[in-house]
């Protein structure tokens, strides 16, 4: 063979593409994120998203359910028409399933907004260590290529605007029962809601390990008023 390396490189590249696609979509559960991002995890714990599974239990949110023509005495925690929007990665690789419910993917957690993390979280670890050692920064683009979401809006829409007539192009059953027709307060306004740190989590100061685009549209606003948080490690 004249160029044995060419074949080896091509095979390696192909493998990288194949495994890259698989890995980019794998959910891991919030335990992995929370061990490093302690402050965000603790703050998230008191949001409505963190309690989303409780709302599916009988006798919870009875008035809201009745108004939306649901049965307040019914247990909806195993109902496939409900669970999908109250957990992480329903029926996706590594995500929540009814057959194998995992407490770290129950509720609307980190990966529902930031993207399935099996691939990018390893980059956080490595880049974080490099930055600590020598202040070497890393491009956000690498994280985006590994499946981290820096735009959020489409992920939110998939749960909040998934009902007939919402105008969102991805609409498909099962729909959310809580629409503006039921009560105006269920009208989803991305730019307003995403600024609500009581619904996302409080924001904490980053050291600046990751740089460049894609950067979330309110990243600088959030960081300008961010608190000093507590970090951790996953080992």
Residue 201 CB, shortest distance to ligand HEC, in Å, is: 5
234 counts as binding ligand HEC under rule CB under 6 A:
yes
219 counts as binding ligand HEC under rule CB under 6 A:
yes
Respond yes or no on whether the N-terminal peptide bond of residue 214 is cis (omega within 30° of 0): yes
Angstrom distance (rounded) from CA 86 to CA 160: 11
146 counts as binding ligand HEC under rule CB under 6 A:
no
Residue 209 CB, shortest distance to ligand HEC, in Å, is: 3
125 counts as binding ligand HEC under rule CB under 6 A:
yes
CA atoms within 13 A on the CB side of 15: 6
168 counts as binding ligand HEC under rule CB under 6 A:
no
182 counts as binding ligand HEC under rule CB under 6 A:
no
203 counts as binding ligand HEC under rule CB under 6 A:
yes
Residue 18 CB, shortest distance to ligand HEC, in Å, is: 22
Find the binding residues for ligand HEC in span 50-109 (CB under 6 A): 51-52, 55-56, 61, 64-65, 70, 76, 79, 81-82, 84-86, 108-109
């Amino acid at each position: 063979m004249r160029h044995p390396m060419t074949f080896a490189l091509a095979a390696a590249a192909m493998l990288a593409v194949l495994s890259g696609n698989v890995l980019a979509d794998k959910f891991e559960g919030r335990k992995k994120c929370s061990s490093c991002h302690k402050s965000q995890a603790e703050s998230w714990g008191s949001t409505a998203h963190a309690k989303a599974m409780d709302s599916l239990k009988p006798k919870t949110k009875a008035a809201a359910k009745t108004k939306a023509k649901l049965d307040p005495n019914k247990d909806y925690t195993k109902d496939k028409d409900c669970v999908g929007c109250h957990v992480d990665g329903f029926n996706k690789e590594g995500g929540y399933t009814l057959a194998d419910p995992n407490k770290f993917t129950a509720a609307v957690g980190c990966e529902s907004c930031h993207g399935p993390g099996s691939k990018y979280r390893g980059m956080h670890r490595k880049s974080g260590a490099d930055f600590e050692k020598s202040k070497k920064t890393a491009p956000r683009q690498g994280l985006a290529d590994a499946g981290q979401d820096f735009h959020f809006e489409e992920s939110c829409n998939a749960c909040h605007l998934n009902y007939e007539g919402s105008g969102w192009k991805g609409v498909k059953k099962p729909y959310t029962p809580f629409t503006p027709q039921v009560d105006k307060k269920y009208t989803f306004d991305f730019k307003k809601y995403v600024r609500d740190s009581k619904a996302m989590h409080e924001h904490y100061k980053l050291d600046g390990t990751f740089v460049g685009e894609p950067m979330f549209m309110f990243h600088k606003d959030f960081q300008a008023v961010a608190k000093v948080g507590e970090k951790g490690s996953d080992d």
